[in-house]
Structure 1
Amino acid sequence: MTVSTIQMPAHETTAQTGASLVVSTLERMGVDVVFGYPGGAIMPIYDAIAGSGVRHYLCRHEQGAAFAADAYARTSGKVGVCMATSGPGATNLVTGIANAMLDSVPMVCITGNVAQGVMGTDAFQEVDIMGVTMPLVKHSYLVRDAADIPAIIEEAFHIARSGRPGPVLIDLPKDIQFQTTAETRAFHLPNDNAIADSASIRAAADAIRSAKRPIIYIGGGAKISGAVETVREFAAMTGIPQVSTLNALGTIPTGQDNYLGMLGMHGTRAANDAVQASDLLIVVGARFDDRATGKLAEFAPNAGVIHFDVDASEIGKLRAVAVPVVGDLKPNLEALNRELAAGDTINVRDWSDQCRAQMAQCAVDYNAPGDGVFAPALLYQLSEMAGPSFIAACDVGQHQMWVAQHCAFSRPQAHITSGGLGAMGFGLPAGIGAKLADPDACVVTITGDGGVMMNIQELATVNRFKIPLKIVLLDNSRLGMVRQWQEFFFERNFSEIDLSDNPDFVKVAEAFGIEAFRIDHKDQVTDGLKRLLETDGPILAHVIINPEDNVWPLVPPGKNNSEMMEGSR
C-alpha cells in the first residue's frame, strides 16, 4: 500500500473549492448515489453536495453507510461510494472497509480530516485514518492540493475496480476542501490487464482432456470479472461437475445439471465428496479459503490444479499449482473455451453421472416434525415464491449458512453476504444498498436476532427514504452459530450466547414506522411469506425458530471435507 500524490500536466478550469471539485468530479464520473454521515471535518463537502446531481443517503451510522455502499457495488457493478467525517466517523467506516477488502468489492471511501496546520497535534477528532486502514485498502491518498482532487478521484475509481477490486481511501484535510483553484491535473488511464499466454491455455486444455474426475471450483472472481456467462459456457460445453464458494453462489444457477452446490464447512455432501475424489481442480477466481478447504493438507489430495486468477499473489499461495493462468478471467476462459472446442471431445459422463447420483441421494427433507418453523424450509419456500428477481442480502450466522444451502439463486448478484470478514450487522444496510442499486428486484434482508441488533438503527434509513425492503428476521434468542460450536466443541458450556431478553422486534419495527408481523408456527409460513412479498412498502417478518436447531452438514475444525458431521435439525 502506498500514498499517492499525483503530479500531472495542469489545465485551466473555472475556479472551484476543493469541496466543489469532489462533488463535480463524482458527477462527471456518473456517481448518482452516495452513502454517508456528516460532521465537522467534512462539512464543506456536504455544503457542496446539497443541490447537486449526487443523491446522498443519510445512514444512521457510518458502518451502515459503508455496508450499504458495499452492497450497492456488488449489485450494480459500479464503484460504491461512502463518506464520513474525521475521528470517530472515519473509524466507524473501518469494518466496512475491511469487509470490502476481503470480498474484493470496489469502493471509494472519502473522509474529512482536520486542517493540515493542526495535523499531528492531537486536534479535536484527529485520527490517522490512513495509518489505521493501511492494511485494509488497495490504495490510499492524503490530498495536499485541491488541484489534485479530480485526478485522485479518477485514479481511485480506476484502482478500486481494476484487477482484483477493493476499497480505496481518500482523506481530505478541511483546509483543502476550502482551498480554491482554477487549474486541475488530469489522470491518464493505464492499460493494466494481464492476459495469459497461449502456452498456459494449451496446457490447461491438455490437462482437462486427460482428466478422469475433474471439478470446476468457482470463486467470487467469476462474478467480479464479468465472466459469469463464460463460466457457464465452459461448464455446459465440457459437462464437468461444478462446485462454488459462498461468494460465488448463483454463478451457476441453483438446480442446474452437474452443479453440486457449495463446498466447504457447511457445503453439500455431494460437493465435498466430489472435490475430495477429484483428479483435477479447475479453479476459477477462488483463493482456497479455509472455510472452503477444511484441513488444507488433505484437501483434494489427488488433484492437480489449474488456477485462473487476476491476482498473481493468489497463485500457489496455499496450494501448489500445475497450470497457472494469471490475468483477466473472461478473456482467458474465452481462450480456453476456443481451445477445447477445437480439440477432442471431453468425456466425463460416467463421473458426472456419479456426482449427480450422489447429489440426488443428499436431497434435503423439508418436512421437519413438530409445529415450529423450520428455517431451511422457510428459506427454500421464500426464494421459490420470490422467483428469479430474488436478491438475498444476508447477515452472518446460522441463517447465513441456511440461505446459502437452501435458497435458489439465478445469478451471482442474487446473493450478497459478508464472506471473508463474516461481519454481523451487514444484512440490513446491505439490503438498502442492493435495493437502491436494483429497484425492480425483490430484495430481502435475511438476518438474525444477533446480527440485526448491530445496525438496527438503519430501519430509520429504510423509513426515511421509503425503501421497499423486505426483512426476514430469524429469531432463536441465541447467538446461534456460537451456541452450535459450544454444543459440539466446547462441551456444551454455553457462555454468553443467551439473547432471550431481545426486544419485541415487531414493536421495534413499528416504532421506526415499518410494518411488521410475527410468524411462530409452520402453518403461518405460506401466508406470511405471501404478505411479505406482496406488500408494496418496507415490511419485517419476525420469525421465531427453535434455539436448538443446528446447521447441517458441518466439517469440524481440523478435519478434511470428507469428515462431515450430519444431523436432522
Structure 2
Amino acid sequence: MQLTGAEIVIECLKEQGVDTVFGYPGGSILNVYDELYKHSDEITHILTSHEQGAAHAADGYARATGKVGVCFATSGPGATNLVTGIATACMDSIPLVAITCNVGVSLLGKDSFQEIDITGITMPITKHNFIVKDVKNLAETIRKAFVIAQKGRPGPVLVDIPKDVTANKAEYKKQEIAPVTASKDICEAEIESALKIISKSRKPYIFVGGGAVLADASEELYEFVKKVDAPVTDSLMGKGAFPGTDPLYTGMLGMHGTKTSNYGVSECDLLIVIGARFSDRVTGNAKKFAKNARILQFDVDAAEMNKNVLITDGVVGDIKVALGMINRRLEEQSHPEWIEKIMAYKEQYPLKYHEEGLTGPFVVEEIYRQTEGDAVIVTEVGQHQMWAAQFYKFTKPRTFLTSGGLGTMGYGLGASLGAKVGMPDKTVVNIAGDGCFRMNMNEIATAARYNIPIIQVVVNNHVLGMVRQWQNLFYGKRYSATVLNDSVDFVKLAEALGATGVRAATKEEFKSAFASALTLGRPVVIDCQIDSDEKVWPMVAPGAAISEAFDEKDLEERSN
C-alpha cells in the first residue's frame, strides 16, 4: 500500500514493538507528529521540557527495560540538543534510535532556516547514522537502524529525514520483525585457552563491567564465579550483574573503589575481565594496573582487546554465550587461602563515613533500607554518584543507571523518567548533587505533567562537590567557580513545577521525607542539606596506581 514517509515511520516503529517515544516537536518533524497523533493509543509520546531530556529519557528507558529507546527531535537546534544524550548512550553502549527531521532535500546545503548537518555532527558519537533522501528507502533504513542499535555491542543510531520525504509516498509492506539474537560464533581455540589459564590460576580475581549487564549474562556470571571460586569487583556500569550482597563481592574497582578490590586486583595472578573496557577511572596508572597478573578478557567487541591495557588472552563474542560455554567445561576450582586473604581485607578496610549529621552516604544507605534494595537507582555525576555506587547494594542488573563513560551532569532526571515509564511497577529514585540537578531540573515539569512518580533526591552541599574535592586535595584549596552560594530554593522550585518539595537537614527529617515520598504516588523532590566539605573515600590520586588508594585516615597520618 502507498503511505507517506510519516506514516512509514510510525508503522516501522509499530513493527519494532515500540510503545513509547520521548521527544519535542518542531516544523520539520510536524508530519511525523501529526501521524503520531493518530496512533496515540498504540504509541505513547512523552513531551519532555528539552530535547536533551528526551535523549536521556530514551536512554534510561533502554537501560531499565533492555529494549531500544526512541527519541524524536526537529531540525537545527532540536537535533543538536540531542547530541549530549546520544554521546552519553554511545559511551555506555546503550541501544537507542534517534529520529530527527531536516529541511527539505532541495534546501539542504543552503544554510536554510533551522538546517543542520546532524549526520555529520553525530558521526563520531553514533554506532551508525543515516540521512534518507528518498522515501522508497525509508522503511528499510529504519529497520536497519534498530538492528544496528541492538546487534553485537549495542549503541545509538540516528536517522535524519528531510521534511519532504516525510510527505512523499512510497509502497509499504508490513514485515514481521525477528528479534535480534546473540551470535554464537566464538572461537573454540579462545575458549580452550581461557579454560587452561583459569585452571592454572591460584589467585584469580573477576572484574565485571557493563557488558555483562547488556548481555543479560547475570545467571551465567554467577555460575562462573562460583566455579572459579574467585572474589568479584565491578565498574560503575557492571553494578548488579553480580549480587552486591554476595560474600565474594568486594566492592567497586578504581579511583573510588574499595581498598579491598584495589589491593586484591593488584595482587592477583589472574584478572578475568567480563565486559569492561579498562577505563582510566578503573585502571589508574595503566602501566601499573594488575602488574602481577595475567589478564583474560571477555568482550563482544574485538576493538576493546589490547586497547587500553595489554591482555594475555581474550575471548571475543557475546558474554552470555561465552560464559555458558566455559561453565559447561570448567571443573570447579578452589582457592581457600586466596579467598581468606581477600576476606581479611574486607574486614580490615570496610567503607566508612562520619556518623554525625546528615551525609551523602547516610542518604544512600537509608534509601537502600527503605526500598529494601529493590529499586531502580539513577544518578547524575559526581560525589553522590560514587556514594550511590558504594553504599547501595545492587543485586540485580538494570537497577543502577548512570552515565559512566561520558560523565554527563544532567543525565539522571531524564533517565529516571524513562526508567519509570518503562518499569512502572518499580520504585525509581534519582540521586543528584545540586550542581547536576540544576542542569536539567526543568524535567521535573515533565514528571508533574504526566504524574510520573519518580523520587528526586538532591544531595545539596551548595558546591560542585567532586570538583571541590579535587581543589581541596590537589589545588591548594583554591575553590575557583565551584561554590554555589546563591538563593535557589529547590523546594519552592519543585512546587512551582508541579511536584512535591521537601527539605531535610537531619537524619530523621530525611527518613520521614523519603518514607512519605514512597507513598505519595507523585513526583517528589527532597532537598538534603549536607556539609560542603564532605568527601568520597577511598580515593586514588590522578596518575597513581590503584594500589595507592588512600582515605581520610591515611591523609591525616601523612600530615602528622
1:274 to 246, 259, 264: 264
- Displacement after TM superposition at 1:339 (Å): 1.3
1:506 to 471, 488, 491: 491
Aligned residues: 551
Question: Which residue of the partner structure matches residue 289 of structure 2?
Answer: 299
Q: Measure, in 1, the Cα distance between the counterparts of 2:224 and 2:340.
A: 18
2:252 to 262, 282, 307: 262
Distance 1:366 1:488, change over 3 A: closer
2:18 to 28, 31, 40: 31
Indicate the SS of the match to 1:562.
Answer: helix
| Superposed CA offset, 1:255-282 (max 9, x none) | 2111111100000010100000011011
In the alignment, structure 1 residue 115 sits paired with structure 2 residue 100: no
Q: Measure, in 2, the Cα distance between the counterparts of 1:185 and 1:412.
A: 34
Indicate the SS of the match to 2:428.
Answer: strand
Q: Which stretches in structure 2 are left out of the alignment for 5+ residues? A: 556-560
Q: Measure, in 2, the Cα distance between the counterparts of 1:24 and 1:184.
A: 10
In the alignment, structure 1 residue 96 sits paired with structure 2 residue 81: no
Question: Which residue of the partner structure matches residue 274 of structure 2?
Answer: 284
| Superposed CA offset, 1:143-196 (max 9, x none) | 122122221111110100110000001000001000012356979979882622
1:357 to 344, 356, 375: 344
- Displacement after TM superposition at 1:212 (Å): 1.2
Question: Which residue of the partner structure matches residue 545 of structure 2?
Answer: 560
Question: Which residue of the partner structure matches residue 85 of structure 1?
Answer: 74
Q: Measure, in 2, the Cα distance between the counterparts of 1:362 and 1:527.
A: 31
Question: Which residue of the partner structure matches residue 409 of structure 1?
Answer: 394
| Superposed CA offset, 1:399-443 (max 9, x none) | 001101111112121100000000000111111011011111110
Q: Which stretches in structure 1 are left out of the alignment for 5+ residues? A: 1-13
CA contact 1:384–1:408 (8 Å) conserved in 2? no
Question: Which residue of the partner structure matches residue 525 of structure 1?
Answer: 510
Indicate the SS of the match to 1:247.
Answer: coil
In the alignment, structure 1 residue 106 sits paired with structure 2 residue 60: no
1:395 to 380, 383, 398: 380
| Superposed CA offset, 1:93-140 (max 9, x none) | 000000000000000000010000011100000110000010000111
Tell me the C-alpha RMSD between the 2 structures.
1.6
Q: Decide which moves more: 298-307 or 312-321.
A: 312-321
| Partner amino acid, structure 2, of 1:95 | T
Distance 1:392 1:26, change over 3 A: same
Question: Which residue of the partner structure matches residue 217 of structure 2?
Answer: 227
| Superposed CA offset, 1:499-543 (max 9, x none) | 120411000001111111111022323222212222222111110
CA contact 1:395–1:425 (8 Å) conserved in 2? yes
TM-score (norm 1): 0.94
| Partner amino acid, structure 1, of 2:190 | S
Indicate the SS of the match to 1:454.
Answer: helix
Alignment of 1:324-403 (within 5 A): 324-341=314-331, 345-366=332-353, 368-369=355-356, 372-403=357-388
Q: Measure, in 2, the Cα distance between the counterparts of 1:313 and 1:19.
A: 37
Indicate the SS of the match to 1:431.
Answer: helix
In the alignment, structure 1 residue 128 sits paired with structure 2 residue 113: no
CA contact 2:494–2:501 (8 Å) conserved in 1? yes
Q: Measure, in 1, the Cα distance between the counterparts of 2:181 and 2:343.
A: 43
Q: Measure, in 1, the Cα distance between the counterparts of 2:148 and 2:503.
A: 45
Question: Which residue of the partner structure matches residue 149 of structure 1?
Answer: 138
Distance 1:442 1:185, change over 3 A: closer
Question: Which residue of the partner structure matches residue 237 of structure 1?
Answer: 227
- Displacement after TM superposition at 1:69 (Å): 0.2
2:437 to 452, 470, 475: 452
Alignment of 1:153-164 (within 5 A): 153-164=142-153
Distance 1:285 1:479, change over 3 A: same
Q: Measure, in 2, the Cα distance between the counterparts of 1:210 and 1:80.
A: 43
In the alignment, structure 1 residue 433 sits paired with structure 2 residue 440: no
- Displacement after TM superposition at 1:363 (Å): 2.1
- Displacement after TM superposition at 1:361 (Å): 1.8
Q: Measure, in 2, the Cα distance between the counterparts of 1:192 and 1:447.
A: 35
Q: Measure, in 2, the Cα distance between the counterparts of 1:318 and 1:60.
A: 38
Q: Measure, in 2, the Cα distance between the counterparts of 1:81 and 1:459.
A: 20
Q: Measure, in 2, the Cα distance between the counterparts of 1:532 and 1:567.
A: 34
In the alignment, structure 1 residue 47 sits paired with structure 2 residue 37: no
Indicate the SS of the match to 1:246.
Answer: coil
Runs of 4+ in 1 over 4 A off after TM superposition: 183-192
Q: Decide which moves more: 525-534 or 237-246.
A: 525-534
CA contact 1:151–1:187 (8 Å) conserved in 2? no
CA contact 1:267–1:553 (8 Å) conserved in 2? yes
| Partner amino acid, structure 2, of 1:177 | T
| Partner amino acid, structure 2, of 1:305 | I
In the alignment, structure 1 residue 315 sits paired with structure 2 residue 282: no
Question: Which residue of the partner structure matches residue 18 of structure 1?
Answer: 5
TM-score (norm 2): 0.96
| Partner amino acid, structure 1, of 2:515 | K
- Displacement after TM superposition at 1:324 (Å): 1.4
| Partner amino acid, structure 1, of 2:324 | E
Q: Measure, in 1, the Cα distance between the counterparts of 2:527 and 2:174.
A: 53
| Partner amino acid, structure 2, of 1:212 | R
- Displacement after TM superposition at 1:197 (Å): 2.3
CA contact 1:195–1:332 (8 Å) conserved in 2? no
Indicate the SS of the match to 1:169.
Answer: strand
Indicate the SS of the match to 2:57.
Answer: helix
| Partner amino acid, structure 1, of 2:475 | F
CA contact 2:56–2:415 (8 Å) conserved in 1? yes
CA contact 2:448–2:522 (8 Å) conserved in 1? no
Question: Which residue of the partner structure matches residue 428 of structure 2?
Answer: 443
Distance 1:248 1:469, change over 3 A: same
Distance 1:146 1:340, change over 3 A: same
| Superposed CA offset, 1:353-385 (max 9, x none) | 11112112222345523xx31210121121121
Indicate the SS of the match to 1:494.
Answer: coil
- Displacement after TM superposition at 1:387 (Å): 1.7
CA contact 1:59–1:65 (8 Å) conserved in 2? yes
Question: Which residue of the partner structure matches residue 242 of structure 2?
Answer: 252
